[in-house]
């Protein structure tokens, strides 16, 4: 990938490709390994900071390559210590990432696309146009920046990563997989794959591909209804990826990976909050080992959806537990800031447009 100045984005190159460039520059190929380590293991963003590289080679690197790194555009800190970030990319697009501190965990929520092509009715990002996919290094940078925030603000490194920010990860499959490779590799950030969760709105053929690729990270399905009529309304992607198709894909994925699946379910007031809805969800959970996270909703201005009442949510969760479904209640974070996915990026975009 070249930027407008004709320089190559160095992090778009594999080690082998970088070695070839070094040979063409009359440099020894082992120097490429040193630079590669600076880029991915040490998260270096300036050639001039690569202290074991000669000044002459650093000059060549600056002349031929660029590092299209992500920068923090703005941040909001919630009373519950959640930090919501607007990140700016090299081409001025804005994305979001969140640091979520909870007892025993320090989690980064990262984006995979600029905007989103799906139109989930409850999600702020669903009201944004998809501009482009994020590159692997742009996802990696979000993790590095949020880890730095965790260490500086709370003295604790990241423990978990969730791909639950802007965009549909499985519609940026290759780049998401490459980003996870960089994050988990001993030559990268060396994080455990089991600490990473990729959340999808439900793309059946790509869930099958996850199984074929034998991925080690966790998979979550943003479900929100276990009958097709309701899910079609809430999440139009269901019209091409019915619950039957998703169930078959998930069973295939589980057979290949033996990884249990997490179902995310927001109990919306008057939409999917009845005992019948709970019964349908419990039935869907019988397809394979799984757990359900009931998530508290952060309402947005674009949609009329509201959380069901506490009592109704407790009845809903209690029914699932009595049916043997492992069920957790996840409280909303950052209620006093623009914490719903897409809110901050939309607000920041409006400032500059």
Please indicate if the annotation marks 99 as binding a ligand: no
Which two three-digit tokens encode residue 343? 């809110």
Question: Catalytic pick from 27, 96, 264, 348?
Answer: 96
Q: How big is the CA angle at 220 (ends 324 and 131), to the nearest 5 degrees?
A: 155
Please indicate if the annotation marks 185 as binding a ligand: no
Whole-number Å distance between alpha carbons of 190 and 183:
6
Task: Tally the residues of the chain.
Answer: 353
Please indicate if the annotation marks 93 as binding a ligand: no
Please indicate if the annotation marks 116 as binding a ligand: yes
Residue 285 CA, distance from chain mean position: 24
Please indicate if the annotation marks 51 as binding a ligand: no
Distance in angstroms between the alpha carbons of the first and the last residue of the chain: 27
Please indicate if the annotation marks 120 as binding a ligand: yes
Whole-number Å distance between alpha carbons of 206 and 202:
8
Q: Is 341 among the catalytic positions?
A: yes
Please indicate if the annotation marks 285 as binding a ligand: no
Please indicate if the annotation marks 224 as binding a ligand: yes
Whole-number Å distance between alpha carbons of 167 and 196:
17
Question: Catalytic pick from 264, 290, 341, 348?
Answer: 341
HSE (side-chain half, CA atoms, 13 Å) at 111? 32
Whole-number Å distance between alpha carbons of 24 and 11:
18
Please indicate if the annotation marks 227 as binding a ligand: no
Whole-number Å distance between alpha carbons of 268 and 223:
12
Q: Binding site: residue ranges?
A: 116, 120, 123, 167-168, 199, 222-224, 298
Q: Binding site for S-adenosyl-L-methionine: residue ranges?
A: 167-168, 199, 222-224, 298
> Mind telling me the catalytic residues?
96, 341
């Amino acid at each position: 990938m070249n930027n407008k100045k004709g320089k190559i984005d160095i992090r778009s190159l594999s080690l082998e490709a970088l070695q070839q460039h070094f040979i063409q520059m009359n440099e020894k190929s082992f120097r490429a390994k040193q630079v590669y380590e600076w880029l991915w293991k040490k998260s270096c963003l300036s050639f001039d900071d690569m202290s074991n590289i000669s000044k002459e080679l650093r000059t060549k690197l600056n002349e031929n390559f660029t590092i299209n790194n992500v920068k923090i555009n703005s941040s909001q800190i919630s009373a519950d210590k959640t930090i919501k970030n607007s990140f700016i990319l090299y081409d001025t697009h804005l994305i979001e990432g969140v640091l979520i501190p909870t007892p025993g965990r320090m989690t980064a929520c990262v984006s995979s696309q600029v905007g989103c092509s799906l139109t989930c009715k409850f999600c702020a990002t669903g009201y944004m146009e998809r501009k482009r996919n994020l590159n692997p290094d742009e996802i990696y940078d979000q993790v590095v920046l949020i880890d730095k925030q965790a260490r500086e603000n709370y003295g604790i490194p990241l423990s978990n990563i969730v791909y639950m920010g802007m965009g549909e990860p499985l519609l940026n499959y290759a780049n998401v997989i490459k980003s996870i490779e960089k994050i988990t590799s001993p030559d990268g950030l060396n994080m455990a794959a089991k600490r990473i969760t990729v959340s999808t709105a439900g793309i059946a053929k790509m869930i099958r591909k996850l199984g074929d690729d034998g991925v080690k990270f966790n998979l979550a399905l943003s479900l929100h209804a276990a009958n097709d009529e309701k899910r079609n309304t809430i999440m139009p992607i269901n019209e091409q990826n019915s619950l039957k198709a998703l169930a078959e894909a998930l069973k295939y994925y589980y057979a290949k990976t033996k990884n249990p699946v997490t179902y995310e379910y927001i109990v919306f007031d008057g939409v999917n909050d009845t005992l019948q809805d709970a019964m349908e969800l419990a039935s869907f959970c019988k397809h394979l080992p799984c757990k359900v996270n009931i998530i508290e909703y952060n309402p947005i201005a674009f949609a009329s959806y509201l959380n069901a009442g506490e009592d109704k949510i407790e009845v809903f969760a209690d029914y699932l537990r009595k049916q043997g479904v492992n069920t957790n209640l996840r409280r909303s974070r950052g209620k006093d800031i623009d914490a719903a996915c897409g809110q901050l990026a939309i607000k920041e975009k409006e400032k500059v447009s």
